[in-house]
Structure 1
Amino acid sequence: MRFSPLKSSLSHKMKEAKVHYLEATKDTVHWGKFDNSLTPALKIKSGDFVYAETVTHHAGDAPDKMMDDGIQAIYAAIPEEDRKPGPHLLTGPIYVEDAAPGDMLEVQILDLEPRLPYGSNLSAPWGFLFEEEEFHNKERVTVYKIDDKGQWLTPHFAYDYPGPYDVNGKILHKNDVERMETLKGMQVPARIHMGTMGVAPAEDGPVSTIPPSNFGGNIDNWRIGADTTMYYPVQNQGALLSLGDAHLAQGDSELNGTGVEASVNCLLRIKVRKDFSFPLPILETNEEWMIHAFDPDLDEAARIASFKAIQFLCEFYYLSKEEAYSFLAVAADFHITQVVNENKGIHVTIPKEAFLPD
């Protein structure tokens, strides 16, 4: 029988699941790190639903547009010196009963909804072209607004960032900068997704949220949105899932350093899977599988992705290595997920319709 996670997941009876509300507060968020020693913000059973709030670490780029009282309270409660080693503000961790190393954590994203209709894109010091002469030392913020239907973003204003962008969550009021019209007559398709989501790494101590890895984290695949499912290899007892760094839009590569960073609430269903394992995060959509791989060298990331995609096809669709290699060449697509997060990302897209029913 071919691999069918959907069939297995439906075996959980809906009546047994509980719905939890995880509000983002100073006590339920952590800034800049994954850490397997963090106290869980929530404990759930496999199959439960979680409505979780996430708060962007870029809300200070336009506080009059991107902050409400709850977001202001979180920023006020966490000193700037504690916002490290990475920049991202995450909600969690969520402890899932019975999850253990060797399992997979299935995270179904059922819905995503912007908390506020604004998001910020930063042409950042870590952007791909920042060291080029045309963009060197040019840090620029562009604020977008999403429409009521959640389909399109329109540019609201832009400004040149005053000084280096070296304080995570720094608040700049509108009188601190010169806001200007930008991208006149243009709109951007909305691609609401979770930029950073993953289980706690096996490594002890704080681990920066910047580089994605086998535990997930800052993957920045804009397809990780509503009506999709992520699978993460569990590294610790309880899995310890954290999430944040939501984007209203982003292209493959995240070229200038960020997506359209925003605070987004999400409805998840989280399950422990003991019936299969895989060493890297997998995204499932209605039409495709996506295998993610990471490395500081993009060529090496592509090599890892190739071998892991072959492993996926051999283990779950019973192809030989030679068959899988040929299939990837003619039917799969290799995408550059992002080039700006220390570990560069590749994802291999495998079409489900290529596999005929048994």
Structure 2
Amino acid sequence: MLSLALATLLSPALPAQTAPIIPKTYYRTFSHAHPVLSRIKPGEAVSTRTLDSGGQDEKGVQRHEPYNPLNGPFFVEGAEPGDALAVTITKLAMNRDWGWSGFRLGLFSLTPEHVEHVYSSAYKLDLVRKGRSNLVPWDLDLKRKTVRLREPVSKKLSMEFPAQPMLGCIGVAAAGDFAPTSGPSGSYGGNLDYNKIGEGATVYLPVNHPGGLLFVGDGHALQGDGESTGTGIETTMDLEFVVQLKKGAKLAGPRVETADEIISIGSQAEFASALDNGLKMATSDMVDWLVRDYQLEDWAAHLLIGYQGKYEVVTVAGSMALCIPKKRLPALKETAVDPVKENTAKP
């Protein structure tokens, strides 16, 4: 069976949209009940702009209430339950010269003994957002592609780092009538907050409803592993992506592919279950991926994971990822499927 990524790469790209698709209405749930924002064809390049997680646009205008307003849903022609969307991020670029973040690590990241003596999360009231004192501002250099903490200023450390734009929210409408908010994540994707979901990455999502109903949002200029402060450096983004269709993929949850790795995500809502449950989910999915797509024997998949796998914390109190380097994978048979036919929408 041809890998999802190979089908994406071999399928012909269609012309891009003539102008960015900018919503007039944003949503905060991954629900199949929302009106469709745009119908797109597999292989069609789509351009849009996201709000920051506080609901402000690239000009600082408040367009929606917090938290994590979503662009979408995008209806993908031909997508049916049991299929998968392969969403390749072809461009993800900061388009505003400022962002913001939390001021302190989330208490969920610390031991009770440390929490007892931790500093206050209050910094300056109304500095970033009216009514909030636990947020701090960052300056974003769009030319140099760096982020710098505006205040407070450390006497010991220059808080300036290379930017690494990522997309916090990417997902499809959840199964049935379930309408999870844009706060947690799950098998449908959602607020994954995985810092490898950036330009060049492909995200695979299981289709639960006709058209898939894809949502995107919540851009971060930079975020460490786990989103341990509860935020990234939150800002707005110019986003372009291409969606391909994988028929009959029957994914259990989200997957990611980069230039160097295939990645299974054990995606679950934060605080809902222990982090090791996310690890088990990611590991089980990777076994299935290696056996089904790469035709490894069960025992070979187990041992490859055991001696080449790398685990990453996606969210401190929720999801885990398991990464396998592509250089350790067997070659795939390109003749196993016709990607042009596979990505042709049903009439």
CA RMSD of superposed structures (Å): 2.4
Query: Does the 8 Å contact 2:253/2:267 carry over to 1?
Result: no
Query: Does the 8 Å contact 1:222/1:251 carry over to 2?
Result: yes
Is the counterpart of residue 53 in structure 1 residue 49 in structure 2? yes
Is the counterpart of residue 19 in structure 1 residue 17 in structure 2? yes
CA distance in 1, matches of 2:279, 2:69: 29
- Write out aligned runs for 1:83-102 (5 A): 87-102=67-82
Match of 2:129 in 1: none
CA distance in 1, matches of 2:15, 2:72: 20
Is the counterpart of residue 346 in structure 1 residue 320 in structure 2? yes
1:133 aligned residue (92, 116, 121): 116
Query: Does the 8 Å contact 2:23/2:72 carry over to 1?
Result: no
Runs of 5+ unmatched residues, structure 1: 61-65, 158-179
Match of 2:335 in 1: none
Determine helix, strand or coil for the equivalent of 2:174: coil
Once structures 1 and 2 are overlaid, which stretch shifts more, 35-44 or 16-25? 16-25
Return the structure number with greater strand share: 1
2:204 aligned residue (205, 208, 231): 231
Query: Does the 8 Å contact 2:5/2:202 carry over to 1?
Result: no
Query: Does the 8 Å contact 1:334/1:346 carry over to 2?
Result: yes
Match of 1:246 in 2: 219
CA distance in 1, matches of 2:96, 2:75: 28
| 1:109-166 deviations in Å (ceiling 9; x for gaps) | 0011112021111147965247722347624322222223453211112xxxxxxxxx
Q: Give the partner amino acid of 1:4.
A: S
Once structures 1 and 2 are overlaid, which stretch shifts more, 139-148 or 245-254? 139-148
Match of 1:335 in 2: 312
Q: Give the partner amino acid of 2:153.
A: E
Q: Give the partner amino acid of 2:323.
A: T
Once structures 1 and 2 are overlaid, which stretch shifts more, 191-200 or 51-60? 51-60
| 1:268-302 deviations in Å (ceiling 9; x for gaps) | 01122116332111111111001000342111111
Match of 1:306 in 2: 283
Q: Give how far 1:356 is off.
A: 4.1
Match of 2:130 in 1: none
CA distance in 2, matches of 1:59, 1:329: 43
CA distance in 2, matches of 1:345, 1:185: 31
Determine helix, strand or coil for the equivalent of 2:185: coil
Q: Give the partner amino acid of 1:156.
A: R
Q: Give the partner amino acid of 1:333.
A: K
TM-score, length-scaled by structure 2:
0.82
Q: Give how far 1:260 is off.
A: 0.6
Determine helix, strand or coil for the equivalent of 1:110: strand
- Write out aligned runs for 1:255-270 (5 A): 255-270=228-243
CA distance in 1, matches of 2:120, 2:80: 45
CA distance in 2, matches of 1:36, 1:311: 28
2:137 aligned residue (139, 143, 164): 143
- Write out aligned runs for 1:53-92 (5 A): 53-58=49-54, 68=59, 72=61, 74-75=63-64, 87-92=67-72
Match of 1:211 in 2: 184
Runs of 5+ unmatched residues, structure 2: 123-133, 333-347
CA distance in 2, matches of 1:100, 1:202: 12
Q: Give the partner amino acid of 1:92.
A: G
CA distance in 2, matches of 1:137, 1:206: 35
Determine helix, strand or coil for the equivalent of 1:299: helix
Determine helix, strand or coil for the equivalent of 1:255: coil
Q: Give how far 1:11 is off.
A: 4.2
Query: Does the 8 Å contact 1:332/1:350 carry over to 2?
Result: yes
Determine helix, strand or coil for the equivalent of 1:289: strand
Query: Does the 8 Å contact 2:294/2:330 carry over to 1?
Result: no
CA distance in 2, matches of 1:148, 1:72: 19
Q: Give how far 1:26 is off.
A: 3.3
CA distance in 2, matches of 1:213, 1:136: 33
Evaluate the alpha carbon distance shift between residue 146 and residue 345 of structure 1 in structure 2; reply closer, same or farther with a 3 A threshold. Answer: same
Q: Give the partner amino acid of 1:112.
A: L
Evaluate the alpha carbon distance shift between residue 308 and residue 357 of structure 1 in structure 2; reply closer, same or farther with a 3 A threshold. Answer: closer
Percent same amino acid at aligned positions? 25
1:43 aligned residue (14, 39, 43): 39
Q: Give the partner amino acid of 1:304.
A: M
Q: Give the partner amino acid of 1:118.
A: W
TM-score, length-scaled by structure 1:
0.80
Q: Give the partner amino acid of 2:192.
A: I
Match of 2:153 in 1: 181
Q: How many residues are treated as equivalent by the alignment?
A: 313
Once structures 1 and 2 are overlaid, which stretch shifts more, 301-310 or 125-134? 125-134
Match of 1:273 in 2: 246
